[in-house]
Copies of this chain bind each other. A is one copy, B any other.
Amino acid sequence: MTDGQSLLVPGSPAWWAARHGRAEPTRRVPVTLDRIITGALDLIDREGLGALSMRNLAAELQTGTTTLYRYVSGKDEVLVLVADTVLGEAQLPRALEGLGWREVLRELAFSMRTVLSSHPSVAALIATAVPVGPNSLRARELILGVLRERGFDRTLAADVYTMLAHLVLASVLQEPMRDFRAGGLGASKSLTLRDFYRSLPAGQYPHLVALADALTSRTAAEEFEFGLGCLLDGVEVRLPQAQTRRHRPRNTTSEA
């Protein structure tokens, strides 16, 4: 299709606007790799992963579709670059030295989770492909370094890193389903997940009905907090030197 509006045909309003707009006179913004990546990320965050097509991306950048292929080998490469860019948004090397391994791991895991959580659709990209971009490698390197310097042996450091990555990934992946509506047969009857659990036959699924609230009232961050705490406690048990300064866990609340 010719798209009509994105072309700057002389005499058209868009042409005039570009001609004596208040900004710099060169309205033809050059295409760069960065513009492609940020444009793709914007498009994904705004309209979801499914909305990212090479044509849409080209339209977003006000250029032609095939132009993108001058900077990128294909859509796959765009996705890889976007994923690594997001991973790079986490500012990891904050104040770090004085803290014990628990605090550092908490800090790192949470900042990774936060940055991925702000680009929900991107998590799926990272989940199904080994992230080998520089930002991803830097993060891995940093976490492994923290573990080694705190006395973890090689296998334990690798195992703990893998578990942390798994935990972060799963938490972020499952987060968008929090606002899930079930039963879309008609537009009228859309249930929230909690009401869906409540509406199940109590004879068949007694616990799902009874735990409808418990299963759906947690924030994704709270769930992550819980899982991270469990994992770190488990790691503490596995440390060779029994340098276990005991600490009292705090969320075993019993509700009404």
User: Known contacts A129-B177, A193-B130: does B171 contact A166 (CB below 8 Å)?
Assistant: yes
- Cα distance A159–B217 in the bound complex, in angstroms: 10
Residues 91 to 136 of chain A near chain B (Cβ within 8 Å): 124, 127-130, 132
Interchain residue pairs A-B with the least CB separation, the first 5: A230-B234, A166-B170, A158-B214, A233-B234, A144-B207
Cβ-based interface call for A8 (8 A): no
Query: Shortest beta-carbon distance, A80 to chain B, in Å?
Result: 11
Interface size on A, residues (CB 8 A): 69
Q: 9 A-B residue contacts at CB 8 Å?
A: A130-B193, A137-B205, A137-B208, A144-B211, A155-B251, A159-B218, A169-B174, A230-B231, A238-B251
A residues apposed to B, CB below 8 Å: 124, 127-130, 132, 137-138, 140-141, 144-145, 148, 153-159, 161-163, 165-167, 169-171, 173-174, 176-177, 180, 182, 193, 196, 200, 204-208, 210-211, 213-215, 218, 223, 226-227, 229-235, 237-240, 249, 251-255
